[in-house]
Amino acid sequence: MFSGIIADVGTITRAEDRNGGLRLSVSTMALGMDDVQLGDSIAVNGICLTVVERKGDSFTVDVSRETLNCTVGLETQGARVNLEKALRLADRLGGHLVSGHVDGVGEIVVFADIGESWKLVVSAPHALAKYIAVKGSITINGVSLTVNEVDGAVFSVNLIPHTLAVTTLNELKVGTKVNLEIDLIARYVERMLAADKA
């Protein structure tokens, strides 16, 4: 589990084809690799991946074709990516509970400076619309954010200068595809309601 609070922005230093999947090497300056072991989980742009190698300030993960088919942002060597290590039980939960399992890919339709912050408007897959609620949480490329407005499958969030400074969200533009993960609690609520009707 993760919190959606980004610890560092890393760089994909190698993206090697592995029988349709990818082996990625990611460099990081501030993530803190001293306590990372083989088999640990790190969220890369909101995607939970398993460390298979570690060397100095970099780590390597394998990405399956299935994961590549339902996410964006991992294929390009040199790309900057949001990084977060998995939570420990004693950690603060500064964002919201994030599984690192991307629910769908959205598209940026507006990214505008509105003075004290930036307004980001995203078109989500229609299947996710029912899970997105005003004042609810959503994860965009691994970043925990609060939904401000919803109109069908289109929603908006506000990005404060700090968020833009410490994540890759400052690189977004209209047409950019992003990884979305809905609020985990919304999915469980739907499951419980469906079970009650059965």
Residue 137 inside a domain? The answer is yes
Residues 111 and 41 in one domain: no
Residue 63 inside a domain? The answer is yes
Residue 99 inside a domain? The answer is no
Residues 55 and 131 in one domain: no
* pLDDT at site 184: 86
Cα dihedral 96, 143, 155, 165, rounded to 10, equals 130
> CB-based contacts of 29: which residues, under 8 Å, 6+ apart?
8, 10, 57
Residues 136 and 177 in one domain: yes
**What confidence tier does 191 reach under pLDDT thresholds 50, 70, 90?**
confident
pTM for the predicted model, two decimal places: 0.94
* pLDDT at site 176: 98
Residue 142 inside a domain? The answer is yes
pLDDT at 198 over 70: no
**What confidence tier does 194 reach under pLDDT thresholds 50, 70, 90?**
confident
pLDDT tens digit string along 173-190? 999 999 999 998 887 888
Residue 93 inside a domain? The answer is no
Residues 69 and 125 in one domain: no
The overall average pLDDT reported for the chain is: 95
Residues 127 and 193 in one domain: yes
Ranking 20-24, 52-56, 93-97, 106-110 by mean pLDDT, the lowest is 93-97
Domain closes at, from 85, 115, 149: 85
**Domain count within the chain:** 2
* Spatial separation of the C-alpha atoms in residues 65 and 26, rounded to whole Å: 18
Residues 78 and 131 in one domain: no
Residue range of the domain that includes 190? 104-197
Residues 145 and 63 in one domain: no
* pLDDT at site 126: 97
**What confidence tier does 170 reach under pLDDT thresholds 50, 70, 90?**
very high
Say which CATH number the domain at 18 has. 2.40.30.20
What percent of the chain stands above pLDDT 90? 87
pLDDT at 88 over 70: yes
Contact 48, 100 (CB under 8 A): yes
Contact 36, 49 (CB under 8 A): no
Residue 90 inside a domain? The answer is no
Residue 3 inside a domain? The answer is no
Q: Summarize the confidence of residues 105-134 as an average pLDDT.
A: 97
Q: 94 or 49: which carries more pLDDT confidence?
A: 49
